[in-house]
């Protein structure tokens, strides 16, 4: 007990721009977050040593905690770390069938936090010579090769291995180093694959098949192998990581993998389905946990500074402009977006904020569509349909179902503004249905909790619940459309005994103050044609928790009608009214 | 947003692959001086289905091959030949100049890589060669004023500076561009219209330096939408440097005055921008000697 009481842990996340460190201390039988500090990441000249940035961040922790945490050899206390610098982990995957083994390989790589540069398969429509050129022009950190169920395809797997060998794929870092290739395919061709990929060029290792049977997916061993290869072959090339490896207890994970692990553990602990969006400068990550199945997707095209012109390019200027609270012409929208990309202003004007928030909605929409493909049921399985399936959703292509999502987690650039703006972005972009809690990660500490998981799972989950994930509120959103005035009758009984009843007309938003952490019994009765996820007109009873915006009733219906210019401000004011309870 | 500095500028002028260096240490060079020449691998690969052309199964193609991997070929060279029992001959010829990249026995496909592409590196700035890097290039040094700008398109070029506006907040219009601007670096004010951009391109101006431009006009000029802020490889034939950003933005007074003081003198500009990867911003170099 005594030693545990004295325990202190430093967890650092090395980001592209900044290194963020936290200090945890054992107090009252649990680990508590004592201080957070940040310093610039030092992987560029003149300070080519990642540990310098960590040292600077830890010294700031020292200033806050008043005790010496950094010694001659590095941190004086237990030290854990994740890394997302240099753009993270870059991977290429390949599988025999695009919709079967390649898709499983994609899920394994993305789930391990990778940025997928390309994905190949034998049924790829691109001719071989284009595939060769594509493999050659991308310089991945790791290549994941899948294909063939155990005891299944042999020749096609070997053809893929031959293609990789002929392409002479080179690693991103370290000219002359071997490219790590993880083979997670047919167990019976391991030897031939390893012989095909020359030892002087490729560091090949075989792990359990990601698709041992057509109806079974096994991503764990491939993910673990990715983490190991990341430590052994990738991260060592970054300046100062050799020193860092001696300081760290356990693995250095890619930050996105740590985030995924944390969100999965959190959803598992609450036994809920969860959807998380992380809208960054250049990319948008979506994480989901549905019925215990974790998935991550990365839209490397769209973000809110470097990637904002891509949002306009892919979604279209009109799609972005429809979310603006006031009229801006096409030229103005394009110029503002281009300046967000080129100038990256620290302080935004109201127009810049409006364009960024509008682009955030479309970035999330685009990325969720991509995520639906990744978070899908296994393909290639013969499913016998019965008449009952006509009315069930058991054969849905994707796991993502907003009516079955109990929690939404937001992080990233899009949610740095006002809470009501963040909430409206999420309501507009995700269109939740039923009763859904909305949380956000204001200090970007979810990855730190993910790193802590392997060391102390209970403490990591508690940290997420109590300190890291801040509740914005719980939203109640009916699906469908109605003409009747009284769309939704709400009865909210608080623990104090106070009961609030409200009738929210269709097409409106209303926020009822309910403090963060405060629980209340909700009874929501939708009018005949509206559905809160239990069927049309069916009353839903639920225990809800509050947040900075309390209980949010979004009675605009689903799908959302096209937004009207003058309504955006009205919705923001309606949401801000929920702040009374915070 | 733009930044003016004066310093001794050293430019490393390197080939992407080994080649021949044509300058010596201590030599005086001009922007157009060739520093090094070499050849780089051609990214173009052409695939030929030999099995279909020869009329045999993919697995049986190999005995008919007349060339080996690595062999150089000229267009129309015979690369595979099959004489049938009845004396009919099926010939397969190279479709491009290049070399045999690979033969894929499982698909019967032969890959020919295009012939290496010749590349040349110029000095880009005038000055003295202070270091020669054998087989790769050289370092050229000059004292100059430079303007770091916000965004650009188009690569390196050089020419004489010619102002086309009177004030930094004046828009550069089509009427201000004349035939005299051929091979010149035109200086505009707050913005440049699409018509003026097209006119400058038409008369053969080498570059335009201006405060801003409407992103939509730039898209129209390029013919495609910008995605990430990575530029420099545009094949427009004219470089555009934005000193302040997008939209009408008066050029910084100090920059405008500096450019005006260099009227008729040499400017070396590079529109290459890499906002995300390496924070490379476009620059205008104004050599002092």
Instruction: Considering only residues A136 and B179, tell me which one the structure prediction assigns the higher pLDDT.
Output: B179
If asked whether residues B156 and B225 sit together in one domain, one would say: yes
Does residue B227 sit at the A interface (CB-CB below 8 Å)? yes
Segment B269-281 shows an average pLDDT of 82
CA distance A243 to B244: 42
pLDDT tens across B196-243, in order?
A: 999 999 999 999 999 999 999 999 999 998 888 788 888 889 999 999
Residue A151 DSSP class: T
Q: Are residues B128 and B41 in the same domain?
A: yes
Looking at B142, B175, B200, the residue that finishes a domain is B142
Tens digit of pLDDT for each residue in A310-366? Answer: 999 999 999 999 999 989 999 999 999 999 999 988 899 999 999 999 999 999 999
The residue with greater pLDDT, A57 or A42, is A57
Q: Does residue B88 fall inside a structural domain? A: no
Q: What is the mean pLDDT of residues A86-91?
A: 74
Domains A2-85+242-250 and A89-234 share a fold: no
> Is residue B236 domain-shared with residue B161, that is, in the same domain?
yes
Whether residue A13 has pLDDT greater than 80 = yes
| Residues A113-132, mean pLDDT to the nearest whole number | 85
As assigned by CATH, the class of the A89-234 domain is alpha beta
Identify whether B66 is part of a domain.
Answer: no
Per the structure, the complete domain to which residue B245 belongs is given by: 149-287
B120, B142, B164: which is the final residue of a domain? B142
CB atoms within 10 A of CB B65: 18
Band of residue A204 on the pLDDT scale cut at 50, 70, 90? very high
Verify whether the Cβ–Cβ distance B228 to A309 is below 8 Å: yes
**For residue B150, which residues of chain A lie inside 8 Å, CB to CB?**
342-343
- Which structure tokens are listed for B128? 């003295």
- First and final C-alpha spacing in chain A: 37
Which pLDDT value is given to residue A393?
46
Which residues 110-139 of A have a C-beta within 8 angstroms of B? 127-130, 132-133, 137
| Average pLDDT score over residue span B182-207 | 97
Query: In the block, which residue shows the tokens 């031939």?
Result: A192
On whether any CB of chain A is under 8 Å from the CB of B214, the answer is yes
Helix H, strand E, coil C: the string for B139-156 is: EEEEEEEEEECCEEECCE
Q: Which of residues 330-349 of A touch B (CB under 8 A)?
A: 330-332, 334-339, 341-344
Give the pLDDT score at A30. 84
The answer to whether residues B112 and B242 belong to one domain is no
Structure pTM?
Answer: 0.87
Domain identity same for B236 and B256: yes
Q: Does domain A2-85+242-250 have CATH number 3.30.420.40?
A: yes
pLDDT of residue B16: 82
Under the banding of pLDDT at 50, 70 and 90, the label for residue B74 is very high
Q: Does B1 touch chain A (CB under 8 A)?
A: yes
Distance from CA of B27 to the nearest CA of A (A): 30
Say whether both B162 and B186 belong to one domain. yes
Per-residue pLDDT, A463? 95
Same structural domain for residues B156 and B188? yes
Say yes or no: B138 and B161 in one domain. Answer: no
pLDDT at A570: 93
Percent of chain B with pLDDT over 90: 73
Q: Which of A235-249, A404-418, B44-58 has the highest mean predicted lDDT (pLDDT)?
A: A404-418
Indicate whether B208 belongs to any domain. Answer: yes
Q: What pLDDT does residue A582 have?
A: 47
- When pLDDT is cut at 50, 70 and 90, the band that residue A5 belongs to is very low
Is the pLDDT at A46 greater than 80? The verdict is no
Nearest residue to A473 (alpha-carbon basis) of A548, A572, A554, A571? A548
Q: What dihedral angle (degrees, nearest 10) is formed by the CA atoms of A203, A208, A213, A219?
A: -90
Kindly give, in sequence order, each residue whose CB lies less than 8 Å from that of residue B50, ignoring residues fewer than 6 positions away: B61, B64, B65, B79, B80, B92, B108, B109, B110
Q: In angstroms, how far is CA A314 from the centroid of its own chain? A: 21
**Binary contact (B216, A331; C-beta < 8 A):** yes
Q: Is A292 exposed, middle or buried (0-12, 13-18, 19+ CB in 10 A)?
A: exposed
- The domains of chain A are located at 2-85+242-250, 89-234
User: Which of B46, B111, B275 shows the shortest C-beta gap to A342?
Assistant: B275
B55, part of any domain: no
Task: Report the pLDDT value the prediction gives residue B222, as an integer from 0 to 100.
Answer: 93
Query: Is B135 contained in some domain?
Result: yes
Instruction: Please check whether residues B160 and B277 belong to one and the same domain.
Output: yes
Predicted confidence (pLDDT) per residue in A182-196, tens digit: 999 999 999 999 999
The count of structural domains within chain B is 2
Average pLDDT, integer, range B48-77: 91
- Give yes or no: residues B171 and B282 share one domain: yes
The string of pLDDT tens digits covering residues A207-263 is 999 999 988 899 989 998 998 888 887 777 778 888 888 899 888 888 989 999 999
- Residue B82 falls inside a structural domain: no
* CATH number of the CATH domain containing B205: 3.50.30
Asked whether residue B127 falls in the same domain as residue B161, the answer is no
What Cα–Cα distance (Å) separates residue B202 from each residue in A384, B134, B179, B197? Answer: 66, 40, 9, 9
Q: Average pLDDT, whole number, for chain A?
A: 89
| Confidence check: pLDDT of B159 > 90 | yes
What is the ipTM score, two decimals?
0.86
Task: Say if residue B155 is in the same domain as residue B235.
Answer: yes
């Amino acid at each position: 007990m005594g030693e545990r009481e004295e325990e202190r842990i430093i967890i650092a996340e090395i980001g592209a721009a900044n290194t963020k460190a936290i200090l945890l201390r054992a107090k009252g039988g649990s680990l508590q977050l004592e201080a957070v500090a940040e310093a610039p990441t030092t992987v560029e000249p003149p300070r080519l040593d990642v540990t310098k940035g960590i040292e600077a961040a830890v010294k700031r922790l020292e200033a806050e905690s008043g005790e010496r945490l950094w010694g001659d050899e590095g941190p004086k206390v237990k030290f854990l770390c994740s890394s997302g610098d240099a753009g993270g982990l870059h991977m290429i995957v390949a599988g025999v069938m695009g919709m079967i083994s390649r898709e499983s390989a994609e899920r394994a790589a993305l789930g391990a936090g990778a940025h997928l540069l390309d994905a190949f398969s034998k049924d790829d429509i691109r001719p071989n010579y284009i595939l060769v050129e594509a493999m050659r022009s991308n310089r991945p950190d790791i290549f994941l090769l899948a294909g063939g169920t155990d005891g299944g395809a042999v020749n096609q797997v070997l053809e893929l291995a031959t293609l990789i060998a002929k392409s002479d794929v080179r690693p991103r870092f370290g000219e002359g180093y071997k490219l790590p290739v993880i083979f997670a395919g047919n167990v019976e061709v391991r030897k031939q694959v390893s012989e095909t990929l020359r030892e002087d060029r490729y560091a090949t290792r075989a792990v359990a098949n990601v698709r041992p049977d057509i109806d079974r997916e096994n991503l764990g061993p491939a993910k673990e192998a990715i983490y190991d290869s990341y430590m052994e072959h990738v991260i060592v090339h970054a300046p100062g990581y050799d020193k860092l490896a001696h300081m760290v207890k356990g693995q250095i994970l890619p930050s996105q993998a740590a985030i995924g692990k944390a969100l999965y553990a959190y959803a598992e602990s609450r036994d809920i389905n969860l959807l998380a969006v992380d809208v960054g400068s250049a990319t948008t990550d979506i994480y989901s946990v549905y019925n215990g199945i974790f998935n991550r997707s990365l839209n490397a095209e769209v973000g809110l500074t470097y990637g904002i012109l891509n949002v306009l390019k892919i979604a279209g200027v009109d799609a972005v402009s429809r979310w603006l609270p006031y009229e801006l012409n096409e030229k103005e929208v394009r110029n503002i977006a281009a300046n967000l990309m080129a100038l990256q202003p620290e302080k935004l004007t109201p127009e810049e904020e409006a364009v960024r928030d509008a682009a955030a909605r479309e970035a999330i929409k685009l990325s969720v569509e991509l995520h639906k493909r990744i978070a899908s049921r296994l393909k290639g399985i013969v499913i016998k349909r019965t008449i009952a399936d006509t009315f069930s959703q058991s054969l849905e292509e994707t796991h993502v179902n907003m009516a079955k999502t109990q929690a939404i987690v937001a992080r990233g650039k899009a949610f740095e503004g006002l809470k009501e703006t963040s909430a409206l972005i999420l309501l507009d972009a995700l269109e939740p249905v039923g009763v859904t809690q909305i949380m956000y990660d204001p200090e970007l500490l979810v990855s730190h909790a993910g790193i802590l998981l392997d060391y102390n799972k209970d403490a990591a989950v508690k940290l997420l619940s109590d300190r890291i994930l801040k509740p914005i509120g719980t939203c109640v959103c009916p699906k469908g459309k109605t003409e009747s005035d009284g769309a939704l009758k709400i009865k909210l009984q608080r623990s104090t005994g106070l009961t609030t009843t409200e009738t929210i007309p269709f097409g409106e938003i209303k926020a009822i103050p309910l403090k963060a952490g405060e629980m209340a019994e909700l009874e929501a009765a939708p009018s005949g044609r509206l559905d809160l996820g239990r069927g049309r007109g069916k009353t839903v009873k639920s225990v809800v928790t509050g947040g900075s915006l309390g209980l949010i009733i979004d009675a605009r219906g689903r799908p959302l009608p096209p937004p009207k210019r003058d309504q955006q401000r009205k919705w923001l004011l309606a949401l801000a009214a929920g702040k009374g309870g915070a | 947003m733009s930044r003016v500095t004066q310093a001794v500028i050293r430019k490393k002028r390197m080939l992407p692959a080994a080649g021949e260096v044509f300058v010596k240490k201590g030599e005086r060079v001009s922007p157009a001086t060739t520093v090094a020449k070499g050849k780089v691998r051609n990214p173009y690969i052409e695939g030929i289905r030999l099995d279909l052309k020869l009329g045999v199964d993919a697995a049986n193609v190999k005995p008919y091959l007349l060339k080996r991997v690595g062999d150089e070929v000229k267009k129309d060279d015979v690369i595979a030949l099959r004489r049938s029992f009845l004396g009919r001959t099926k010939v397969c010829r190279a479709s491009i100049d290049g070399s045999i990249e690979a033969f894929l026995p499982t698909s019967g496909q032969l890959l020919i890589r295009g012939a290496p592409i010749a590349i040349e590196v110029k000095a880009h700035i005038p000055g003295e060669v202070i270091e020669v890097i054998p087989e790769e290039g050289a370092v050229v040094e000059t004292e100059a004023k430079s303007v770091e700008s916000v965004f650009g398109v188009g690569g390196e070029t050089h020419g004489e500076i010619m102002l086309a506006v009177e004030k930094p907040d004046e828009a550069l219009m089509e009427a201000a561009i004349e035939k005299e601007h051929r091979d010149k670096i035109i200086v505009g004010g707050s913005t440049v219209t699409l018509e003026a951009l097209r006119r400058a391109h038409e008369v053969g101006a080498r570059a335009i330096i201006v405060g801003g431009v409407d992103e939509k006009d730039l898209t129209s000029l390029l013919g495609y939408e910008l995605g990430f802020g990575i530029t420099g490889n545009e094949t427009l034939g004219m470089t555009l440097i934005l000193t302040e950003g997008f939209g009408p933005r008066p050029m910084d007074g100090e920059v405008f005055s500096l450019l005006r003081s260099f009227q008729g003198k040499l400017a070396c500009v590079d529109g290459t921008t890499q906002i995300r990867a390496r924070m490379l911003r476009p620059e205008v170099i104004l050599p002092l000697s």
